[in-house]
Amino acid sequence: MPNMSLRKRVSSLRDSFRQRFGSEPAVVVRAPGRANLLGEHTDYNDGFVLPIAIDRSVLFAAAPRADRQVVLHALDLDASTAFSLDDLAPSSAQPWSNYQRGVAHFLQARGYRLQGLNAALTSDVPIGSGLSSSAAVEVAAAFAFRALNALDISLPDLALVCQQAEHEFAGVPCGIMDQFVSALGRRGHALLLDCRNLAYEHVPLPAGVRVVVCDTGVRRELAGSEYRVRRAQCEEAVRHLQAVLPGVQALRDVTPEQLAEHRALLPEVVYRRARHVVLATARMGQAVAALRLGDAVAFGQAMRDCHASLRDDYEVSCPELEALVDAANEVEGCYGSRLTGAGFGGCTVSLVAADAVSEFERHVVQRYRQQTGRETTVIVCAAEDGVGAI
């Protein structure tokens, strides 16, 4: 059942839908954002990631139409648009609707017949903060199409449709992690995902800890372009290594020992990008084992090591992220902290003892203000279920 805050959001969305469309929505879908605990920039290298679905979400209210039109209203933007399911292409005038357009396009490309719908949506996932607001929008829209058209499509396949929409309609060559955990998260658990074959396992979080997200307030202007650069550098590393390691398909297949042995084949910056991914892959097994044992200290150290690698080898941090991570690690009861998302702004994620959360928030807010002159928003997250109808 929704908590009280979610109940209020749902009630407000229903009211807005009635006012705009003159009828009740047939379905209200909730799709969560995500925070990634471990495994950053590994998803597009066929590696492993360990996100949670968080209790910040996109709500998508929808009802079927008798024609092939899709009419959308985004409450938070106070913007509306309409498009035909028979003429789907990205919109430069209404780019916020490209997620829904792309989802419809790729569902139909798989052979599903869709009817039009009226929809209103709202979100409390901060945009541009690294908590995957776009994936939540895609998954919410896809689930609504699935529900209203009685589509026989699994949640993993629905996540793949959403990833295609992000690639080709939104123009972001993302990995599968964001859409997958928004679709398949589980309350109280992290989701260990093998990004090569989409095998997944829900891993319980230790008792007595909280996942705390801190927003730098810095939007990630560089993230899109630099993301493409990093991805290309990883692909370059694979091409060099395949000359001596023909079984390598992606950096996930390279061991730390192999990378060290063949370092001379790689340009220095490409080597450092590859080292981040290779060590992150090696680190994941030990970190998940610690999580299964409830060892928050060992898992927190893995988070700290991950951040250092993202900062030094992958070079996707920024002064504001560093200030938040340093402040977090000064708090007794913070097991580990690191940037989450693509980097260059956005958020950090920290694993914090439940009884230390108040002091954590007080100290981090104060220190961040002193160090940067900026304010941070602190979000104490619960690991929530993935997409569903409310």
Q: Which residues are catalytic?
A: 178
- Here the tokens at position 117 are 């719908």
Q: Which phi and psi angles does 131 have, rounded to 5°?
A: -105, 15
Helix spans in the chain (H): 4-21, 98-109, 133-149, 155-168, 177-184, 223-242, 256-261, 268-292, 296-312, 319-329, 357-372
Dihedral sign for Cα atoms in the order 167, 157, 64, 388: negative
Q: Is 78 helix (H, G, I), strand (E, B) or coil?
A: coil
DSSP string computed for 133-158: HHHHHHHHHHHHHHHHHT----HHHH
Rg for the chain, CA atoms, rounded: 21
N residues, the chain: 390
Nearest to 197 by CA among 156, 142, 143: 156
